[in-house]
Structure 1
Amino acid sequence: MEVATRRSQRKKRRRFWFRFTFRSTMVIAILSVLALLFIFSYSYLLGPPPMQVAQSTYIYDDDGNVVNETQQGHQRNWTNIDDVSPFVLDAFVAIEDRKFYDHHGFDYMRIGAAVLKNVQTMSRSQGASTITQQYARNLFLNHEKTWDRKAREALYALRLEWHVPKDDILEGYVNTINFGHGAYGIERAAQLYFGVSANDLSLEQAALLAGLPRGPSYYSPYNHPERAKDRQELILSEMKDQGKITAEQYEEALATNIEFSETQQSQERVAPYFQDVVERELLERYDLDPAIVEAGGLKVFTTLDTDMQKAAETYVEQEMPADEPLQTAVVSVDPTTGDVKAMVGGVHYDESPFNRAYDARRSPGSTFKPFLYYAALKNGFTPATLLRSEPTSFPLNEDGDYYEPGNYGEIYANDFITMTQALAYSDNIYAVKTHVLQEPESLIETAQAAGIESPLSPNLSLALGASDVGVLELTAAYSSFANGGARVEPRLIERVEDAEGNVLIDTEPEVEQAFDERQTYMMTEMMRHMFNSELNDYTSVTGNSISHLITRPMAGKSGSTPNDNWMIGYTPNLVTGVWVGYDDNTPLDHRKHGQIAKKIWVKTLEKSLEGELKHEFQVPRGVENVDIDLATGLLADEACGNAYTAAFVHNTAPTESCTEYLENDELNAEEAKEEISKEKEKLFDRLKRWFSSNEIDG
């Protein structure tokens, strides 16, 4: 009897919970339907939304002056949908919203998939916005990933769908999006990239443009052609799969080589190369959502100094030949903070927006030697260390292969010279010998400590700058010499705010002590002698041609390869680097082009610091300045001849006087022979160790 009673009670409880669940579900369903009806009715009664909003992103220089206003909105470049190539419209619908003409503002399948993904990842990273939602967002809202914004976006999208025809929505969408390089709207993009109207865009052109708004800088065909091509191919594939184009059209578009407009639209922007990098770093370095950048309404405070930028652009225009496709790159960096003050990425931005200062990698030649000689100072060399400058064959292995570098013009001392002279004359033999007399990794470790991130090969030719590096990368690395041994990270953006004043990005200088300040000062003093004509001897110092233009303490190093010409140097408060060469590695005529980089460098640096105090390089504790005899590398004396001043750590300068060599020429000749023999022995021993490292390949 009790068993039957318990069974009856369980059945009653099940019936109760079933009825309760059913009734609750029905109530929730009814309330949901009523809520949706209210939302739909409310959005309908509100009428069409106002469709005349334009947002602008402002870019500021380091003084807070606006240097560019990038306007976002339909008021610019508006083109009627009938004047837009059907390929464009089909491409956008295919990649952004394939159900555009079938839904009422929302793609519920995509929303469900996105919600599931966000729940799984506990984030809001996945979106499922339709073209209508994106247009609503562009017109009325920001791109914050918040539920409040999404709710308001949905309401605006409903109002658009209730009151605006689909074609008008699509028309507004293609007229309010950012295609990169200052082009907003499909008409301006068509003119910028291809020199045609939006109505004349071909299938392959339309597919490429449709891929840009997702990341205008990331997919830029100028800066990242492979990414742009991959996205174009994805869009063409989607168009084929959705039946918007035939298989034949697809294959033909893939096989067509796109040619870009030779005369691009004038940007009328201050420092356009600099600004392009700013936009890229917002996305790539600081991971800002591309949708936020696209929406506009930002305030981007940068490190740009417009006066320094103008100086760089002025002297590029003045010194670069107008009758040949020679290119250049110029960068100026504050060595104490890493702030990039000026950037020129080419001769004419309108003709070529490829940024050689930021993206190109070229052989630095002798501008790499300061890192070599800093490593040598760290390993026991001094500015007066003597090595013989003469034609030398360096064995590469035990199979009889040799590396035979040469000095420019085949000019050699055929005698011993000091490290200071070797750097001032840019003697290649001295450099390779110095490299050999250290561990193979010493130079690489030193360059990396200064901030060089490009791959470096531990071979003999690395001493002469055989591994490619970037202009900004190498210029910033020189900051370690100008800043007492402290390495800085290049910085272009100080702060970013949204339209409401919320700080999205706030940066601080990244500074880290990399070098010993005493040895850094010694390197600076050696690099100053590049412009010291009193060192002219069997050859001239490499800065001899521009030394008369220098009015303040400066240090630096020039460099050249068959295809490149460099000059990098600094004062205590500014580092400037210049590269000159051809994009296709055409060999330079060094008699004709060899002084261009130096002239741009010295004039830019002098003009940039015009009116500023002429600061001296600060001498650290534990360092002394000593006069060295030019002929012998020993302590100078009036009886000997020309001399120069070099910096030494206390108790490391030569102790002998040059007068001792004046007294006994016969004995000096014997000592010289002995020194030559010792040097050759050291080199041979060290080369054997390089062989054993299996890292030397010339």
Structure 2
Amino acid sequence: MFSVVIIGGSCGYLLAAQNIQTDLPDIQPAYTTHIYDIKGNEIATVHTEEDREPAKIDKIPTNLKNAFLAVEDVRFYQHIGIDFRGVMRALWENIRHRSVTEGGSTITQQLARNAYLSQEQSYQRKIQEMFLALKIEHRHTKDEILELYLNQIYFGQGAYGVQAAAKTYFGKNVEDLDLNECAMLAGIPKSPNYYSPLNNLKAAQERKSTVLKQMVKYGYISASTAHATAKEELHLAKPVSKVGKANYFVDYVIQTMIDKYGADAVYKGGLQIYTTLDMDMQQKAEEALKNLPEMQAVNGVQQPQGALVAIDPATGYIKAMVGGRGTDMFNRAALAERQPGSAFKPFVFAVALESGYTPDTIVADTPFTKYGWNPQNYDRSFYGSVPLSSVCAQSLNVATVRIADDVGIDKVIKCAKDLGISTLVMEGEKNDVNLSTALGGITRGVTPLELTSAYCAFPNKGMYVKHTAVAKVLDRDGNVLETAPLPGKRVLKEETAASLNSMLRGVVAGGTGTAANINGDVAGKTGTTSEYHDAWFVGYMPDLVVGVWIGCDDNQQMGTMTGGTTPANIWTTFMKSLGR
């Protein structure tokens, strides 16, 4: 296999060298992308600003160049545009996964792709990329290629190139960046939305540490320097306030499209993106979430924060999404991983019903000990023999743990994962394969978007349809690139969903969620975490599931707020504004 790659690459290089054209292919002009709501009304346009400021290679800090080499292409100055070691590694991974999961791309190949090609993951596009990389290497010096690459790459927030990124994130010119800032910038392009410090500072800091470790590995900096730099705070530029409609939702759509088609397609490709957003519902969601209490600010951001997500359970269409108070860019609906508390319990009850329990099955709510752990109920009392429906309505912890122990926590985890919860940790020193998961005490937490989406299977008769914000995408010529996938998959039996719906209606009718009791069709579940760090209410009617989360970005305690108070009240305000 290695011989085939070497011979093929060599022949390709000779062929390319003999057929070097005077000019490389023309770079396509930029077209504006348009984003529409579910009624076809335009809600946003996306385009790149062409007033980018290219930075000369001698102005780019050595630390920034070395950081990119360490994480992207450490053999950049040794290879001919294609790194055959990287190709072999990627080829093996692609064969192992039976798909194109790794590219083994050099910096030169990335430049070829970003400047001249699409982001399509195919072998044909990969071959084109290799030939263009050879042409680029033939035409330019290594420093020229690195300069072109660093001025072409996308950093999120609409910033292309290191100078624009330095201005966007730190409010300074690229030559003034220190090691801390260089390591941060070098980590962003792997996933510009997720690793943007303006969107997700925690993830950005973790990625910065990874870049610093790579720089140590390849001898660019010492371990002590990396250790000290990893602890340094970032002094970020204040983000430019966005004025527009449904900004959290629009940003989520943009990043979803970037992940699928690449930044150039979104910012320059003239896509026509038809979303699932109901603008009337969105405006009412934003109004409802204004009913948050006031606590002290954290890093200039008022606390507590909140999130609201509304989804059509039959289609998975996200009808409304609010990711915070609107004063910063962190979309807590899609990105904040928070402890769900008792809002996780319906997965336990679902497995119990699938395993032969009924709402009338008697469960012992008596002292329970396993592996030295003694779970307690909220009021520190025990209730003896209790039907499963009351365990759900009153959110009894001890009985819930006893049920999970009986049916198997592995089945509960599988149910949650089948319903789209992607954050469960299955391996490692800290993992979720334990009974505390039954009470929502999980390692990473869940996002409001995924938890709300998971509940959609309950009113949808056990069918799970993955949430989506995009109904249809057209290219600039009107060709259909994608339509929303339907239908979903069966996760629960129809009779299981019916029994669970009955139990969750009991939560609202006479349990912990009575603040949401606006009519007999309402079902839902409250969630409150230890020390009152998180408060949830996920409630639904047959045609709409709405999740509300409230919490502080730094996990400070919110007095004695429970899921049945402010979150349920916000849910009620929102639903009543819809005429429910």
Shift of 1:513: 1.9
How many Å separate the matches in 2 of 1:386 and 1:291?
59
Q: Is 1:466 the equivalent of 2:433?
A: no
How many Å separate the matches in 2 of 1:87 and 1:570?
55
Go from structure 1 to structure 2 and tell me whether the alpha carbon gap of 1:55 and 1:178 turns closer, same or farther (over 3 Å shift). farther
Name the counterpart of 2:368: 394
Q: Is the 8 A contact 1:382 1:419 kept in 2?
A: yes
Q: 3-state SS of the aligned residue for 2:342?
A: helix
Q: Report % sequence identity.
A: 32
Go from structure 1 to structure 2 and tell me whether the alpha carbon gap of 1:415 and 1:300 turns closer, same or farther (over 3 Å shift). same
Go from structure 1 to structure 2 and tell me whether the alpha carbon gap of 1:230 and 1:274 turns closer, same or farther (over 3 Å shift). farther
Which residue among 421, 424, 438 is the counterpart of 2:393? 424
Name the counterpart of 1:576: 546
Shift of 1:56: 3.6
Q: 3-state SS of the aligned residue for 2:507?
A: helix
Q: Is 1:109 the equivalent of 2:109?
A: no
Name the counterpart of 1:259: 234
How many Å separate the matches in 1 of 2:514 and 2:263?
49
Q: Is the 8 A contact 1:407 1:429 kept in 2?
A: no
How many Å separate the matches in 2 of 1:88 and 1:603?
52
Q: Is 1:517 the equivalent of 2:486?
A: no
Q: Is the 8 A contact 1:178 1:294 kept in 2?
A: no
Name the counterpart of 1:339: 317
Shift of 1:220: 3.5
Name the counterpart of 2:51: 76
Q: Is the 8 A contact 1:72 1:176 kept in 2?
A: no
How many Å separate the matches in 1 of 2:407 and 2:131?
66
Q: Is the 8 A contact 1:114 1:127 kept in 2?
A: no
Q: 3-state SS of the aligned residue for 1:54?
A: coil
Q: 3-state SS of the aligned residue for 2:307?
A: strand
Q: Is the 8 A contact 1:87 1:201 kept in 2?
A: no
Shift of 1:380: 4.5
Name the counterpart of 2:522: 554
Name the counterpart of 1:681: none
Shift of 1:524: 1.6
Supply the AA of the counterpart residue of 1:192. T
The TM-score normalised by the length of structure 2 is 0.72
Q: 3-state SS of the aligned residue for 1:183?
A: coil
How many Å separate the matches in 1 of 2:526 and 2:126?
57
Q: 3-state SS of the aligned residue for 2:234?
A: coil
Q: Is the 8 A contact 2:516 2:571 kept in 1?
A: no
Shift of 1:578: 1.9
Go from structure 1 to structure 2 and tell me whether the alpha carbon gap of 1:526 and 1:212 turns closer, same or farther (over 3 Å shift). closer
Q: Is the 8 A contact 2:44 2:245 kept in 1?
A: yes
Q: Is the 8 A contact 1:143 1:295 kept in 2?
A: no
Go from structure 1 to structure 2 and tell me whether the alpha carbon gap of 1:484 and 1:157 turns closer, same or farther (over 3 Å shift). same
Q: Deviation digits for residues 70-126 of structure 1, max 9, x if unmatched?
A: 3235x23446759965558856996889999x9xxxx99225959987999999956
Unaligned runs of 5+ in 2: 1-13, 298-302, 427-431
Which residue among 125, 141, 155 is the counterpart of 1:179? 155
Q: 3-state SS of the aligned residue for 2:48?
A: strand
Shift of 1:510: 4.7
Shift of 1:357: 3.2
Q: Is 1:598 the equivalent of 2:577?
A: no
Supply the AA of the counterpart residue of 1:516. K
Go from structure 1 to structure 2 and tell me whether the alpha carbon gap of 1:387 and 1:146 turns closer, same or farther (over 3 Å shift). closer
313-322 vs 496-505, greater mean Cα deviation: 496-505
Name the counterpart of 1:374: 350
How many Å separate the matches in 1 of 2:267 and 2:392?
49
How many Å separate the matches in 2 of 1:136 and 1:517?
48
Supply the AA of the counterpart residue of 1:556. G
Supply the AA of the counterpart residue of 2:234. E
Q: What root-mean-square deviation, in Å, do the aligned CA atoms of Structure 1 and Structure 2 show?
A: 5.0
Supply the AA of the counterpart residue of 1:196. K
User: What is the correspondence of 1:546-695 to structure 2 with a 5 Å cutoff?
Assistant: 546-547=516-517, 550=518, 553-562=521-530, 563-591=533-561, 595-607=565-577, 610=578
Which residue among 208, 217, 221 is the counterpart of 2:193? 217
Supply the AA of the counterpart residue of 2:374. Y
The TM-score normalised by the length of structure 1 is 0.62
How many Å separate the matches in 2 of 1:432 and 1:90?
53
Q: Is the 8 A contact 2:155 2:188 kept in 1?
A: yes
Shift of 1:508: 0.9
How many Å separate the matches in 2 of 1:369 and 1:129?
48
User: What is the correspondence of 1:2-81 to structure 2 with a 5 Å cutoff?
Assistant: 39-40=21-22, 53-73=29-49, 75-78=50-53
Q: Is the 8 A contact 2:184 2:204 kept in 1?
A: no
Supply the AA of the counterpart residue of 2:499. M
How many Å separate the matches in 2 of 1:275 and 1:458?
36
Shift of 1:234: 4.7
Which residue among 518, 526, 537 is the counterpart of 2:503? 526
Shift of 1:328: 2.6
How many Å separate the matches in 2 of 1:293 and 1:232?
30
Q: 3-state SS of the aligned residue for 1:370?
A: helix
Supply the AA of the counterpart residue of 2:284. A
Unaligned runs of 5+ in 1: 1-28, 242-246, 536-540, 615-698
Go from structure 1 to structure 2 and tell me whether the alpha carbon gap of 1:312 and 1:552 turns closer, same or farther (over 3 Å shift). farther
Supply the AA of the counterpart residue of 2:322. V
Go from structure 1 to structure 2 and tell me whether the alpha carbon gap of 1:498 and 1:84 turns closer, same or farther (over 3 Å shift). farther
Go from structure 1 to structure 2 and tell me whether the alpha carbon gap of 1:589 and 1:150 turns closer, same or farther (over 3 Å shift). closer
Q: Is the 8 A contact 1:76 1:185 kept in 2?
A: no
Q: Which has the higher contact order (CA 8 A, sep 6+)?
A: 2
Shift of 1:291: 6.7
Shift of 1:261: 1.3
Which residue among 154, 172, 196 is the counterpart of 2:172? 196
Name the counterpart of 2:3: none
How many Å separate the matches in 2 of 1:79 and 1:218?
25
How many Å separate the matches in 2 of 1:498 and 1:232?
39
How many Å separate the matches in 1 of 2:355 and 2:112?
63
Name the counterpart of 1:230: 210
324-333 vs 502-511, greater mean Cα deviation: 502-511
Q: 3-state SS of the aligned residue for 2:457?
A: helix
Q: Is the 8 A contact 2:524 2:537 kept in 1?
A: yes
How many Å separate the matches in 1 of 2:344 and 2:126?
53
Q: 3-state SS of the aligned residue for 1:383?
A: coil
Q: 3-state SS of the aligned residue for 2:521?
A: coil
Shift of 1:290: 6.7
Number of aligned residues:
534
Q: Is the 8 A contact 2:108 2:136 kept in 1?
A: no
Q: 3-state SS of the aligned residue for 2:528?
A: strand
Go from structure 1 to structure 2 and tell me whether the alpha carbon gap of 1:141 and 1:555 turns closer, same or farther (over 3 Å shift). same
How many Å separate the matches in 2 of 1:113 and 1:254?
33
Name the counterpart of 1:644: none
Go from structure 1 to structure 2 and tell me whether the alpha carbon gap of 1:557 and 1:86 turns closer, same or farther (over 3 Å shift). closer
Go from structure 1 to structure 2 and tell me whether the alpha carbon gap of 1:52 and 1:530 turns closer, same or farther (over 3 Å shift). closer
Supply the AA of the counterpart residue of 1:403. N
373-382 vs 484-493, greater mean Cα deviation: 373-382
Q: Deviation digits for residues 488-527 of structure 1, max 9, x if unmatched?
A: 2222344444445555544413511222223322322332
